[in-house]
Structure 1
């Protein structure tokens, strides 16, 4: 049985919130939320101003801040997001409000881009490398 933690409507938290259980927030959180291997649900009464990292994130309430999900972000019809989303799958329902950018990285989301990559890569696209025939040099003529 999955553990589920519920933060009630009257609860206000400032700071960093971490856990190893699924989490539903109906109250207010200001800071950072980390539940990397679990689901985070922002309930209808939830008001979040935070950087978020979870396996899946479902927004029914309001969140201001960037969201990183290793699996999926879903914004319900009553949900509002003001911030950037990074996740391999994103679902925005009709009626939902969203202001920000979306990065759908198929390899899984990570908080920081790889330090070894020097050039930006287009996500979800691959271009085969082809060799062009060389024209004959003057010495070969």
Structure 2
């Protein structure tokens, strides 16, 4: 197999759209879209808004979206706001992760989650304003509404 040089996206780059590569990608800029790569390194100043899908991913910057990879490494400077599906996960002290984490023996072979929930979430989105505009019931106990679980937000 022929060795290829990594694709380097510098810090001054702002990209709107998806990135697809079978090789190694080093991102130091901003991407508003999905990234699929064999190996991905997200630098400290990098910002990704979208799904990350790779064999291996090292995250040092910010990701707002789901991460799906066989090996995931969150550096101390990482900030993740989304779910992670992984076969192996390592987290350095100081990394911030807000989402759900799930182990999978083959995270890349599973169907992507966005297609199934989007069909079921459309009716919930349209009915949400009706629920928000309702006056609170007088006999409703105050303990029914609970704050989000602290386990969903963690600063490691």
The TM-score range, normalised by the shorter chain, is: 0.7 to 0.9
The alignment status of 1:22 with 2:24, answered yes or no, reads yes
**Structure 1 segments of 4+ aligned residues over 4 angstroms from their partners:** none
How far did residue 111 of structure 1 move? 4.4
User: Taking structure 2 as the reference length, what is the TM-score of the superposition?
Assistant: 0.67
CA RMSD of aligned residues (A): 1.4
Greater per-residue strand proportion: 1
Deviations 1:62-100 (A, max 9, x none): 11100110x211100011111000011111110000000
The alignment status of 1:88 with 2:87, answered yes or no, reads yes
1:44-123 to 2 correspondences below 5 Å: 44-69=44-69, 71-112=70-111
User: Gaps (5+ residues) in structure 2?
Assistant: 113-156
Q: 1:88 to 1:82 in 2, by over 3 A?
A: same
Q: 1:109 to 1:103 in 2, by over 3 A?
A: farther
User: Gaps (5+ residues) in structure 1?
Assistant: 114-141
Structure with bigger gyration radius: 1
User: How many pairs does the alignment contain?
Assistant: 110
Which residue number in structure 1 is paired with residue 36 of structure 2? Answer: 34
